[in-house]
Amino acid sequence: MRTPIFSVAARPETDMDIPLPSRSALKAQAKRLRVSLAAKGKTLTYAESLEAIAHQWGARDWNTLVAQALDVPQRDFTPGAAIRGRYLGNDFSGRVKAARLNGDGSWTLSLRFDEAMDVVTSPRFSAWRQQITCTVDKNGRCRRTTSDGRPHVELAQSWGV
């Protein structure tokens, strides 16, 4: 009987603070693991590499992990990428200036709008914005809301455009 290369104790899912990648990303991790170990002269079967990745993510086995993973990749915000959405009820298009993935799976984004917008509804004064920093969840919605309950920021994919 072969001694397992990895003896990683599975952690409960609640201890994980990193969002689970897509199935294809998990398979890519397994492939990189096999290649890396092969370069060091250690052989690992495809199934063993999948099981090792599952244990690293705290799952009992590969089937358990892949059942929890999404078929589509999670949203990734790259600086310079085009983005559309609504900010305080106003439609915008612009670019991601900076992005940081937070431990809870949310993103802190700096967005620069293509055109400045007046975010005040009062006819008595204006407040123009061309750049904002916001935190959005995995669905592209800001947790902060206006007095009528609408998120401050809703990115295009989150409202079906």
d(CA 81, CA 85): 13
Angle between helices 46-56 and 23-39 (to 10 degrees): 120
> pLDDT-based confidence at 157, cuts 50/70/90?
low
Taking only the tens place, the pLDDT of each residue in 107-144 is 899 999 999 999 988 899 999 999 999 999 888 899 99
**Which residues lie below 8 Å from residue 130, measured CB to CB, with a gap of 6+?**
112, 113, 115, 116, 117
For position 74, what pLDDT does the model report? 55
Taking only the tens place, the pLDDT of each residue in 37-96 is 999 999 999 999 999 999 998 889 999 888 887 655 556 688 888 999 999 989 999 999
The total of other beta-carbon atoms located within 10 Å of residue 31's CB is 14
d(CA 108, CA 132): 10
pLDDT > 70? residue 16: no
> What is the residue extent of each domain of the chain?
19-68, 82-159
DSSP line for 81-138 = -EEEEEETTEEEEEEEEEEEE-TTS-EEEEEEEEEEEE----SS---EEEEEEEEE-T
For position 86, what pLDDT does the model report? 94
For position 2, what pLDDT does the model report? 40
